[in-house]
Structure 1
Amino acid sequence: MHQADMKLCLVLLILLFVTLPAQADNAWQAWREGKALLLMRHTLAPGSGDPAGFVLEDCSTQRNLNNEGQQQAKRWGKLLRQQHNGEITVYSSQWCRCLDTARLMDLTTPTPLPVLNSFFAGRGDGDKQTQALMQQFAIAQTAQPTVLVTHQVNFTALTGIFPRSGEAAILALPLTQPATVLARINTP
């Protein structure tokens, strides 16, 4: 590699590391101002889908958070309180692993929102649910910072991103498909 090429690579690396934190800071500011939502996949619940005999109202029939997933949710709560010390609205899928993630963040009582429910393995209608979610948040601003706790399939349908357990993205309002991703936030 020529010296000029090495210098160019170094400059590009420096710009990358300077730009990424600034983008994240701007995304968090938009979230605090209600101009963006934080969409997150529930924290770690080992496995895929739900066991045979799944019943929405019975957590014992579902895939649930393990200890690490519970700790991740608590760390998310701490991170979100560091980002905003006021009221935060939390919506969640009705699945136990999502509600538990939302409750363990200890921000507020989560509001179950059926459009956030999983549509994996034909459990719902992905297109209709995604459209309904976009309609619900076809607004320029929310009254306060808002968190949506959902599933991988819902997250991917809206953003095109395949998130890890507990990963989040800050999405600009109004919601579009694909959503405008202001920042991706790794599981704390």
Structure 2
Amino acid sequence: MRHAVTTPGIGDPAGFRLGDCATQRNLSPAGRADAAAIGAAFRRHAVPVGHVLASRWCRCVDTAELAFGRVEPAPMVDSIWQEDAAVADRKTAAVRQYVAAYRAPGNLVLVTHDVNVRALTGTSLSQGEMVVARARTDGSLEVVGTLGVPRRP
């Protein structure tokens, strides 16, 4: 899943520091509402949620917390935007390995960034959208479909 809608802009402001939300591009009020609506849709449709891992960027942690009420920050899903190719490849491989080995009850939810989703699935997402995928034994992901942000009435 890509994090919910943020304040306008591309990337993080100059002086960005991981762990300091005041230095980052964060969820907008609409993004906070969308994240809550995503969680409500999961509950309404009785979608079982297992582990919820998120990039340590505040917008991802906040999306996960608002949607699912819990989150485990996971460096392997931190943004690979502007990462050296070897680092990006290592992070992507770590996610593939984790997904292939996942056996806990409920669906694994990863809240991350568009660039990471593209590296894993070849699918580009808007903010708040998600890819539904099935893990193959080789660690690759079979894309089953995509879901958009549930719209409020």
TM-score range relative to shorter protein = 0.7 to 0.9
Residue from 23, 46, 54 that aligns with 1:61: 23
Counterpart of 1:146?
A: 108
- The residue aligned with 1:183 is 145
> Corresponding residue for 2:39?
77
Match for 1:111 among 66, 72, 83?
72
Q: 1:155 aligns with which of 117, 134, 138?
A: 117
Paired letter, 1:145: N
* Larger radius of gyration between Structure 1 and Structure 2: 1
Once the two structures are aligned, what percentage of the paired residues are identical?
38
Task: Give the count of matched residue pairs.
Answer: 148
1:31-46 correspondence runs (5 A): 40-45=1-6, 46=8
Measure the CA separation in 2 of the matches of 1:123 and 1:54.
18
Distance 1:94 1:61 in 2: 13
Asked whether the 8 Å contact 1:70–1:104 carries over to 2, the reply is: yes
Rounded to whole Å, the distance in 1 between the matches of 2:50 and 2:100 is 19
Deviates more, 1:178-187 or 1:58-67: 178-187
Deviating more after overlay: 59-68 vs 44-53: 44-53
Distance of aligned partners of 1:175 and 1:112 in 2 relative to their CA distance in 1, 3 Å threshold: farther
Cα 1:88–1:142 shift into 2, 3 Å: closer
TM-score under structure 2 length normalisation: 0.87
Unaligned runs of 5+ in 1: 1-39
Cα distance between partner residues in 2 of 1:177 and 1:47? 33
Separation in structure 1 between the aligned mates of residue 97 and residue 123 of structure 2, nearest angstrom: 20
Structure 2: unaligned runs, 5 residues or longer:
none
TM-score, normalised by the number of residues in structure 1: 0.72
Decide which moves more: 64-73 or 142-151: 142-151
